[in-house]
Structure 1
Amino acid sequence: MTATDTEKTYAAHGRRGGSRAGSGAFKAVGLVIAAACLLPMVAVLLAALTGGFDAVGHLAETVLPRYAGTTAALVAMVGIGTFAIGVGAAWLVTMTRFPGVRLFEMLLVLPLAFPAYVLAYAYTHVLDHPGIVQATLRDFTGWGPREYWFPEIRSLPGAAVMLVLVLYPYVYLLARAAFLQQTAGAFLAARALGNTSLQAFWRVSLPMARPAIATGVLLAIMETVADFGTVSYFGVQTFATGIYTSWFSLADRTGAAQLALCLLAFSLMLSVGERVSRGRARYHQAGKQHTKMPPAELYGLRRVAAWVLCGLPILFGFVLPVIILVNMGLESEQNLLSRRYVRFLQNSLTLAGTAALITVVAAVCLGVYQRLQPGRLSSGASYVARLGYAVPGGVIAVGLMVPFAAFDNALDAWMQATFDIRTGLLVTGSIWLLVAAYMVRFLSAALGAYEGGQSTVHANMDAAARSLGQSPIGLLRRVHLPLLTPSLLTALLIVFVDVMKELPATLIMRPFNYDTLAVQAYRLASDERLEGAAVPSLVIVAVGLIPVMLICRQVGRR
Structure 2
Amino acid sequence: MTIATAGREHAGPCLRRAPSPLSGWLLAAGLIALGVLAPVAALAWFAAQGSGDLWPHLINTVLPQAIRDTAMLLAGVGALVIVIGTGSAWLVTAYDFRGRAVLDWALLLPLAIPTYIVAYAYLDLLHPIGPVQTTLRTLLGIANPRDLPFPDVRSMGGCILLLSLVLYPYVYLSTRAMFLMQAASLVEVARTLGHGRRRVFFHVALPLARPAIVVGTSLALMEALNDIGASEFLGVRTLTVSIYATWINRSSLPGAAQIALVMLVLVISLILIERWARRRQRYAAAAQQARRLVPQRLEGARGLAALALGLLPVLLGFCVPALHLANEAYKRVSFAGLSSDLLEETVNTVTMAAVATAVTIALGLVVAYSARIVQRRQADILARLASVGYAIPGTVLAIGLLTPLAAFDNAVDGVMRSLFGISTGLILSGSGVALVYAYVVRFLAVANGGIEAGLAKVPHSLDHAARALGQSRLGTLLGVHLPLVRPALLSAALLVFVDCMKELPATLLLRPLNFETLATHLYAEAARGTYEDGAVAALLIVAFGLVPVILLARMSRGRYAVSLRASSSGVDRPASFRP
Alignment of 1:246-265 (within 5 A): 246-265=246-265
Larger mean Cα displacement after TM superposition, 509-518 or 290-299: 290-299
Contact between 2:243 and 2:256, CA under 8 Å: does it hold in 1?
yes
Q: Residues 436-472 of structure 1: CA distance to partner in whole angstroms, max 9, x if unpaired?
A: 1110000011112211221222111111111222222
Aligned residues: 544
Aligned match of 1:293: 293
Aligned match of 1:531: 532
Q: Distance in 1 between matches of 2:294 and 2:513?
A: 59
TM-score of the pair, normalised by structure 1: 0.91
Q: Residues 192-227 of structure 1: CA distance to partner in whole angstroms, max 9, x if unpaired?
A: 445443222111110001111111111111110111
Which runs of 4 or more aligned residues in structure 1 lie more than 6 Å from their structure 2 counterparts after TM superposition?
413-420
Letter of the structure 2 residue corresponding to residue 505 of structure 1: A
Q: Distance in 2 between matches of 1:395 and 1:26?
A: 30
Q: Distance in 2 between matches of 1:16 and 1:466?
A: 19
Contact between 1:102 and 1:556, CA under 8 Å: does it hold in 2?
no
Q: How far 1:429 sits from its partner (Å)?
A: 0.7
Q: Distance in 2 between matches of 1:150 and 1:283?
A: 48
Larger mean Cα displacement after TM superposition, 426-435 or 223-232: 426-435
Contact between 2:181 and 2:290, CA under 8 Å: does it hold in 1?
no
Distance 1:249 1:85, change over 3 A: same
Q: Distance in 2 between matches of 1:438 and 1:339?
A: 27
Q: Residues 312-370 of structure 1: CA distance to partner in whole angstroms, max 9, x if unpaired?
A: 11111122122101110012158786541121111112211111111111011111211
Q: Distance in 2 between matches of 1:291 and 1:411?
A: 61
Aligned match of 1:65: 64
Aligned match of 1:167: 167
Q: Residues 31-89 of structure 1: CA distance to partner in whole angstroms, max 9, x if unpaired?
A: 11000111111211232234233312321111101111111111111111111111111
Aligned match of 1:28: 27
Aligned match of 2:483: 482
SS of the aligned residue for 1:150 comes to: coil
Q: How far 1:25 sits from its partner (Å)?
A: 2.8
Q: How far 1:481 sits from its partner (Å)?
A: 1.9
Alignment of 1:178-327 (within 5 A): 178-285=178-285, 290-299=290-299, 301-327=301-327
Aligned match of 2:84: 85
Q: How far 1:285 sits from its partner (Å)?
A: 4.9
Q: Distance in 2 between matches of 1:419 and 1:283?
A: 64
Contact between 1:336 and 1:535, CA under 8 Å: does it hold in 2?
no
Aligned match of 1:352: 353
Q: How far 1:295 sits from its partner (Å)?
A: 2.1
Letter of the structure 2 residue corresponding to residue 25 of structure 1: G
Alignment of 1:509-528 (within 5 A): 509-528=510-529
Letter of the structure 2 residue corresponding to residue 108 of structure 1: L
Contact between 1:93 and 1:104, CA under 8 Å: does it hold in 2?
yes
Q: Distance in 1 between matches of 2:439 and 2:293?
A: 42
Q: Distance in 2 between matches of 1:58 and 1:488?
A: 48
Report whether the alignment pairs 1:126 with 2:125: yes
SS of the aligned residue for 2:350 comes to: helix
Contact between 1:344 and 1:516, CA under 8 Å: does it hold in 2?
yes
Q: Residues 257-280 of structure 1: CA distance to partner in whole angstroms, max 9, x if unpaired?
A: 011111111111101111012222
Report whether the alignment pairs 1:473 with 2:474: yes
SS of the aligned residue for 2:147 comes to: coil
Q: How far 1:281 sits from its partner (Å)?
A: 2.4
**Aligned-CA RMSD value:** 2.6
SS of the aligned residue for 2:489 comes to: helix
Distance 1:434 1:81, change over 3 A: same
Q: How far 1:487 sits from its partner (Å)?
A: 2.1
Letter of the structure 1 residue corresponding to residue 255 of structure 2: G
Aligned match of 1:507: 508
Q: Residues 257-312 of structure 1: CA distance to partner in whole angstroms, max 9, x if unpaired?
A: 011111111111101111012222224259x9844333223345533431221011
Q: Distance in 2 between matches of 1:397 and 1:498?
A: 16
Contact between 1:47 and 1:257, CA under 8 Å: does it hold in 2?
yes
Letter of the structure 1 residue corresponding to residue 204 of structure 2: V
Q: Distance in 1 between matches of 2:164 and 2:417?
A: 53
Q: Distance in 1 between matches of 2:467 and 2:418?
A: 55
Alignment of 1:377-526 (within 5 A): 377-405=378-406, 408=409, 421-526=422-527
Q: How far 1:137 sits from its partner (Å)?
A: 2.3
Distance 1:478 1:525, change over 3 A: same
Contact between 1:360 and 1:491, CA under 8 Å: does it hold in 2?
yes
Q: Distance in 2 between matches of 1:406 and 1:395?
A: 18
Contact between 1:336 and 1:342, CA under 8 Å: does it hold in 2?
no
Q: Distance in 2 between matches of 1:189 and 1:482?
A: 41
TM-score of the pair, normalised by structure 2: 0.88
Aligned match of 2:328: 328
Q: Distance in 2 between matches of 1:84 and 1:239?
A: 25
Q: How far 1:484 sits from its partner (Å)?
A: 2.3
SS of the aligned residue for 1:374 comes to: coil
Q: Distance in 1 between matches of 2:23 and 2:411?
A: 33
Letter of the structure 2 residue corresponding to residue 134 of structure 1: Q
Aligned match of 2:104: 105
Larger mean Cα displacement after TM superposition, 277-286 or 498-507: 277-286
Larger mean Cα displacement after TM superposition, 437-446 or 130-139: 130-139
- Provide structure 2 residue ranges, at least 5 long, that are not aligned to the other structure: 1-13, 560-579
Q: How far 1:555 sits from its partner (Å)?
A: 4.3
Q: Distance in 1 between matches of 2:52 and 2:185?
A: 59
Q: How far 1:234 sits from its partner (Å)?
A: 1.7
Larger mean Cα displacement after TM superposition, 458-467 or 439-448: 458-467
Larger mean Cα displacement after TM superposition, 350-359 or 548-557: 548-557
Q: How far 1:411 sits from its partner (Å)?
A: 6.8
Letter of the structure 2 residue corresponding to residue 367 of structure 1: A
- Provide structure 1 residue ranges, at least 5 long, that are not aligned to the other structure: 1-14
Contact between 1:363 and 1:450, CA under 8 Å: does it hold in 2?
yes
Letter of the structure 2 residue corresponding to residue 137 of structure 1: L
SS of the aligned residue for 2:146 comes to: coil
Distance 1:203 1:261, change over 3 A: same
Aligned match of 1:10: none
Q: Residues 476-529 of structure 1: CA distance to partner in whole angstroms, max 9, x if unpaired?
A: 222222222232222222211211111000010011011111111111111111
Larger mean Cα displacement after TM superposition, 277-286 or 470-479: 277-286
Q: Distance in 1 between matches of 2:449 and 2:413?
A: 40
Aligned match of 1:158: 158
The percent of aligned pairs where both chains have the same amino acid is: 42
Letter of the structure 2 residue corresponding to residue 527 of structure 1: R
Contact between 2:267 and 2:391, CA under 8 Å: does it hold in 1?
yes
Contact between 2:89 and 2:176, CA under 8 Å: does it hold in 1?
yes
Letter of the structure 1 residue corresponding to residue 108 of structure 2: V
Distance 1:407 1:251, change over 3 A: farther
Q: Distance in 1 between matches of 2:90 and 2:304?
A: 16
Aligned match of 1:6: none
Distance 1:413 1:145, change over 3 A: farther
Q: How far 1:432 sits from its partner (Å)?
A: 0.9
Letter of the structure 1 residue corresponding to residue 279 of structure 2: G
SS of the aligned residue for 2:144 comes to: coil
Distance 1:254 1:406, change over 3 A: farther
